[in-house]
Amino acid sequence: MGILNVTPDSFHDGGRFDSLDAATGWAGAMARAGAAIIDIGGESTRPGSEPVAVDEEMRRVIPVIEALTAVLNVPVSIDTGKAEVARRALRAGAAIINDVTALRGDPQMAETAAEAGCPVCMMHMLGEPRTMQENPYYEDVVGDIKEFFRRRIEFAVSRGIKAENIILDPGIGFGKTVQHNLAILSRLDEFSSLGRPLMVGASRKRFIGTIAGEEDTGRRLPGTISANVLAFANGASIFRVHDVAENFQALKVAEAILLKSGRSGQGPAGA
C-alpha cells in the first residue's frame, strides 16, 4: 500500500491542478513500482495533531481520488475516520476504507462500510492523536490489542459488515512506546487466529528513529524495510509505506526465501 498524503505539509492545495498533477503522477509511480493499493489521507494523525473539519478534508481528498481513479487501475483506499468523507470518497471511486479509529470515530462509519460492501481496515489506537503518546499503558499490549480486535470484529459484523471484508492493523505508533511497537511486531503471529489479513504501518515512524538515532524521517527507509520484512515473516500481508519500490523488492526477496523454507503460505498482498 503506497501512501499519498494530501495534507497541507505535502500538497498545499489539493484542488489546484499542478498539485493534482503531482498527486496523480506520484500515485502512478507507486503503482508501477508494485503498489497494490494507494492510500489517500487528508487529515494528519501524527502524534499531537489536531482534527481537521469535514469540508476541509473533503476539499483535499475528493478531487485527488476522482483524478486518480480515472487513470489508475489499482484500488484507492481512503484514510479517514469520518463517514461523510468515506461516503464521498467511495462515490468518487475509492474502493477501501482505512479507518484509524476502527469504526469508533463516527457513529455512521459502520453503516457506510456495510452499505458499500467494501473492505475496511480497522486500526488499533489507544486514546486520540492529540494525546496518545502521553504515557500509553497496557496490561499486555498484544493481548489487549487482540481483545480489541475481537470486539471490533464483533461490532462490525453486528452492523452488517462482512467478516471477509475486515482487515486488522495494530496501529504502530498510535498510543505505543518503542517497547510496545517492538512487542507487536515480534508477536504478530498471535493475531493470526482472528483469521483476518494483517496490515502494518511502520514506514519511517518515530520508533525507527529512536532505535537508530535518526531524526530525519527521510533517512528511515532501512529501518522501515527491516520492520516490514520481519512483520511479513510474522504474518502481515499488507504494508503501508512511503517507499514502494524499495519495500516491494525487499518483500519479494523475503517471500522467496520464506517459501523456500516452507515457513510462509501467503505472499505479500502488495507493497
Residues that bind ligand 7PJ (CB under 6 A): 45-46, 79, 98, 100, 121, 123, 169, 171-172, 199, 201, 205, 240
C-beta closer to ligand 7PJ: residue 98 or 133 = 98
**Grid cell listed for 52:** 481537521
What contacts 126, CB < 8 A, 6 or more positions away?
Answer: 132, 136, 138, 174, 175, 176
Whether 240 sits among the annotated catalytic residues: the reply is yes
C-beta closer to ligand 7PJ: residue 196 or 262 = 196
Query: Least CB distance from residue 202 to ligand 7PJ, whole Å?
Result: 7
C-beta closer to ligand 7PJ: residue 7 or 69 = 7
Report the candidate in 107, 104, 100 with the shortest Cα–Cα distance to residue 84.
107
What is the distance between the alpha carbons of residues 30 and 1, in angstroms, rounded to a whole number? 9
How many of the other CB atoms lie within 10 Å of CB of 125? Answer: 23
C-beta closer to ligand 7PJ: residue 3 or 116 = 3
C-beta closer to ligand 7PJ: residue 116 or 184 = 184
Catalytic residue among 240, 252, 260, 263: 240
Residue number with the smallest Cβ distance to ligand 7PJ: 201
Query: Least CB distance from residue 233 to ligand 7PJ, whole Å?
Result: 19
Q: Cβ(103)–Cβ(122) under 8 Å?
A: yes
Query: Least CB distance from residue 140 to ligand 7PJ, whole Å?
Result: 21
What is the distance between the alpha carbons of residues 65 and 14, in angstroms, rounded to a whole number? 10
Query: Least CB distance from residue 4 to ligand 7PJ, whole Å?
Result: 11
Catalytic residue among 205, 220, 252, 263: 205
Rg of the chain over Cα atoms, rounded to whole angstroms, equals 17
Query: Least CB distance from residue 199 to ligand 7PJ, whole Å?
Result: 6
Whether 146 sits among the annotated catalytic residues: the reply is no
What is the distance between the alpha carbons of residues 68 and 24, in angstroms, rounded to a whole number? 6
What is the distance between the alpha carbons of residues 10 and 7, in angstroms, rounded to a whole number? 6
**Grid cell listed for 25:** 503522477
What contacts 58, CB < 8 A, 6 or more positions away?
Answer: 42, 84, 85, 88
Active site residues: 205, 240
